[in-house]
Structure 1
Amino acid sequence: MEEEKPWVLISEVGGEAGLNEELADIVKQHFRIVPYKELLENPQHLGPKIQVAFQWKFLPEFNPGLFKMLPSLKLAVSGGVGIDHLDVPFINSLGVKVANTPGAVSDATADFAMGLLLTSARKILEGHQIAIDPKTVRIQQSLMGSEVTGSTLGIIGMGDIGYRIAQRSCGFQMRILYHNRRKRSAEDEEAVKASYCEGLDDLLRRSDFVMLAVKLTSDTIGLIGQRELSLMKPTATLINISRGQVVDQDALVKALQSGTIHAAALDVTHPEPLPRDHPLLRMPNVLITPHIGVNTYNTTCKMVEKMVENALAATRGLPIPNEVRSK
């Protein structure tokens, strides 16, 4: 029965960037797994049998060298919603289709975005450090955070993730502004009491918290730079859950050092991780997490299940549910 299953390439089972055993078991129900290391050890024998390649945490890299070893490949599928790391036109030119896992990551990412906002605003990490410090014998009351309830949240990028952040923000009675390539429907806006800002500058000037939830494209690289940061309130916080390249990090450092903005909370940087001597790592008004917005058991299972769904469709000659096409 194992021989009858189609073959799929994965990075590894276990390890820092591999599928854990439970996730690998989801794949094994339908496919015979070939770890990348095994492919490298015997590419002539294994390569022609592989019909699908899974990319998990950006590994294995979908580069020309890999595709050269996989002459029978039908689908390259990446776990996650971002496709900025994929050369879709090149992959398609090889006769290979591309898919991702949109929707599966939205709730976990939106939850995490609100977690970053709350942790930064209310100085939860600093409070934790004071509470556990062996030198603490009396709790000082001087650690003051920013009010979240009733504040103004500006969301840049009102796709699925951005909209779910807006839904969560309603529970804090936040005033919601958004900037997007396309205006959401009147029904969508009414449901979360969101106001559309046609110009980005207007949103930046009015927001207490600015949330970046855009895709990384040629238009969004460096979207937030010195000029944009200078428009924000000196009491404002920038939160980035999209991609590190959306923000000019040198400009961000200067804005945080000078008091142009109050704070930043980042789940993404460029590169990841940052060099250990990077100034953002030493700033008291910066919260950084290691790109873990999707890291929950339920979400990773949903991602792998979507990857399998797309892969089965490809091997059976059926339409691929989450196919990404060249523009």
Structure 2
Amino acid sequence: MHFSQTICGLFLYAAIRTRPAHTIVRHHCRNINTILQRRFSTSNNMSSAKGSKVYVTRRVPPSGITLLKDAGCDLIEWAQDEAVPKHELLKGVVGVHGIYCLLSDKIDKAVLDAAGPQLKVVSTLSVGYDHVDVEECHRRNIMVGYTPGILTTATAELAVTLLLATSRNVQSAINAVRNGEWGTWKPLWLCGAGLDDSTVGIVGMGRIGSRIAEMLKPFGVSQFLYTSSRGPRETIVPAKHVDFPTLLKESDFVIISCSLTPETKEMFNASAFSQMKKTAILVNISRGTIVNQEDLIEALQNGTIRAAGLDVTTPEPLPLDSPLLKLKNCTVFPHIGSATEKTREMMSELTARNIIAALDSKPMPSQLKK
């Protein structure tokens, strides 16, 4: 006999002793079967992600897409490399339960309104989240996911690459070879600044800043200075916590790895550049708007600082007529800090897992808390 039939029989026996059978048979069997169905449905962990609509704003590494499909999500994809136009984004998100976005997608009140009240989660393929109106999401009880930790090593590698490319005039050297400027060996040609016995200042000694220091230490750096919104902290590589003016004044290399906040926006401006050494090199792998770009251009043109290496700019992409692209003492990368195959696949998977967990009403692996 089936388990549900046995339970139903017990209920019937108890009920018949107190009430006429014709009034209770259908009622109790219907109720007990409903209870059992709910119980077994819960125990089987039926995923609420199944059948949920998720909008994906770009062509992304396939591992994340596979996870979403395996979870039973119905995907609506802007399967192109270029950013989805705002009007297409507003149309695409209508009625969705989750949004899988990138840092170049502005998820603002207009997008949240277009999506509708059933929207449960926004998850971004990035560690930065200034493109998402987090406060508005939280006000609507929409969970927000991001991808911290995964891209730490890749971004630190890129910071070191950019620093070396800028300080050792790598771009000018490559151009010299391609343009036929490579003649006889010249003792003073294309000489740059070395890291040996230098002082490196890191603005923002978080996960990425700490990893950068670890990678630079073997190059013979004599001293690391750092600023941090959290104050002094234990560091893997010996480093000295100083205030911002001291870091600017004493550093040969200044690396920006802090988050973009109202306090850090345009903190590198004409005043900051005037406090740096004329031989100093600036490296930015964080966000473009932490630097006042017009002031930077002037500082590079006037020799206020020696050079700059940028993986982030304002805007992105940088217009071809930007003065930064005409300066020999400025090296610009197209925001490729996390661009290793392994890192991007892991970021895609985490973005998807954040969405699936939220749709299943489970804790997200990486959630921005209120």
TM-score under structure 1 normalisation? 0.88
Shift of the 169–64 alpha-carbon distance from structure 1 to 2, 3 Å rule, reads same
1:35 is aligned to: 77
1:232 is aligned to: 276
Q: In structure 1, what is the Cα distance between the partners aligned to 2:286 and 2:144?
A: 21
2:146 paired with 1:105: no
Match 2:218 to one of 157, 167, 171: 171
Matched to 2:299, the amino acid is A
1:181 is aligned to: 229
Shift of 1:135: 5.3
| More deviation, 31-40/271-280 | 31-40
2:165 is aligned to: 119
Contact 2:90 2:111 in 1 (8 A): no
Matched to 1:303, the amino acid is M
Matched to 2:338, the amino acid is V
Gaps of 5+ in 2: 1-48
| More deviation, 156-165/86-95 | 86-95
SS at match of 2:97: strand
2:111 paired with 1:63: no
Shift of 1:184: 4.3
Shift of the 40–269 alpha-carbon distance from structure 1 to 2, 3 Å rule, reads closer
Gaps of 5+ in 1: 13-17
2:122 is aligned to: 76
Q: In structure 2, what is the Cα distance between the partners aligned to 1:246 and 1:9?
A: 30
Matched to 1:24, the amino acid is I
Contact 1:26 1:304 in 2 (8 A): no
Q: In structure 2, what is the Cα distance between the partners aligned to 1:215 and 1:89?
A: 17
2:8 is aligned to: none
2:235 paired with 1:193: no
| More deviation, 32-41/141-150 | 32-41
Matched to 1:257, the amino acid is Q
Shift of the 276–42 alpha-carbon distance from structure 1 to 2, 3 Å rule, reads closer
Q: In structure 2, what is the Cα distance between the partners aligned to 1:91 and 1:62?
A: 9
Contact 2:109 2:133 in 1 (8 A): no
Shift of the 36–127 alpha-carbon distance from structure 1 to 2, 3 Å rule, reads closer
Q: Among all aligned residue pairs of Structure 1 and Structure 2, give the percentage whose two residues are the same amino acid.
A: 32
Shift of 1:42: 11
Shift of 1:57: 4.3
Shift of 1:280: 1.2
2:257 paired with 1:213: yes
SS at match of 1:251: helix
Contact 2:62 2:345 in 1 (8 A): no
Shift of 1:255: 1.1
The count of corresponding residues between Structure 1 and Structure 2 is: 314
Match 2:201 to one of 131, 145, 154: 154
Q: In structure 1, what is the Cα distance between the partners aligned to 2:181 and 2:174?
A: 13
Contact 1:121 1:145 in 2 (8 A): yes
1:248 is aligned to: 292
Q: In structure 1, what is the Cα distance between the partners aligned to 2:191 and 2:359?
A: 57
SS at match of 2:328: coil
Q: In structure 2, what is the Cα distance between the partners aligned to 1:320 and 1:20?
A: 20
1:15 is aligned to: none
2:305 paired with 1:264: no
Contact 1:10 1:56 in 2 (8 A): no
Contact 1:58 1:78 in 2 (8 A): no
Matched to 1:170, the amino acid is K
Shift of 1:238: 0.5
Q: In structure 2, what is the Cα distance between the partners aligned to 1:242 and 1:292?
A: 11
Matched to 2:60, the amino acid is L
Measured against aligned partners, the alpha-carbon deviations of 1:117-170 in whole angstroms (never above 9, x if no partner) come to 011111112112222334545344411011112211000001111111111111
Shift of the 22–259 alpha-carbon distance from structure 1 to 2, 3 Å rule, reads same
Matched to 1:35, the amino acid is E
